Amino acid sequence: MNNPTYWKSLFDFCCQHLTAREALLLRRLGPLQCRQMPSTVFRIASRLGDGPLWGATGAALLAFGGPRERLAVAAAAAAVVLSVIIFMAVKNVLRRPRPFEVWRDLACLMPPPDKFSFPSGHTMTAFAVHGALSSLIPELGPLFLPFALLIGFSRVFLGCHYPSDVLVGGLIGFAIGRAAAAMTVWVG
């Protein structure tokens, strides 16, 4: 199970059996992509996932919070750094092309930040922050879950990712966020 060839084979098998179905779902979003309002909302959501939302949240928690909030910011920052390292490594090993590169009839409404699709880095970091913050400040969980979901869905809506990229990114990111929170509490 720790063999990278095993994971690559499993990934290739899943892509062969899921990708065409996922492309059908992306095609169904096509008519909505042509509408100004949802396209604008999802572009904004995606851009929030680039870091402004997390930076503003961290600054607010540091400025107005106490020790618990500082610990949560440290955990969220560690989770984001770890997420970026992991998703970049996985993307460069698995090298899944983005949907619009494989399916010429699919649109991509904004330029992706990197070449490969799996897993969604935006979604992974959004759920990593959500996982860390909701672990240490539970009352923030219901506030940040909709943002994480919106960021994840925006990546599919905009044509940057397959749904499985977002699903796996969200699951891994949330686990990283929870682990970072646990480690921060343990170390702190």
The pLDDT of residue 164 is 93
Return the structure tokens found at 20.
């065409």
Of the CA atoms within 13 Å of residue 92, those in its CB half-sphere come to 6
Q: What is the pLDDT of residues 118-135, one digit of tens each?
A: 999 999 999 999 999 999
> Around Cβ 35, how many Cβ atoms within 10 Å?
10
Joined together, the tokens standing for residue 38 give: 């949802």
User: What distance lies between CA 31 and its chain's CA centroid?
Assistant: 24
| pLDDT of res. 11 | 65
Enumerate the domain spans of the chain. Answer: 33-187
Say which residue, 72 or 10, is predicted with more confidence.
Answer: 72
Averaged over 35-47, what is the pLDDT?
A: 91
Helical ranges in the chain per DSSP H? 4-33, 36-48, 52-64, 67-94, 99-102, 121-136, 141-157, 163-187
Question: What's the pLDDT tens digit per position in 83-109?
Answer: 999 999 999 988 999 988 888 888 888
Average pLDDT score over the chain = 89
Helix axes 141-157, 4-33, angle to 10 degrees: 80
End-to-end CA distance of the chain: 33
Amino acid at 139: E
pLDDT of amino acid 187: 72
Q: What is the pLDDT of residue 28?
A: 81
Residue 17 has pLDDT above 70, yes or no: no
- The pTM of the full predicted model, rounded to 2 decimals, is 0.89
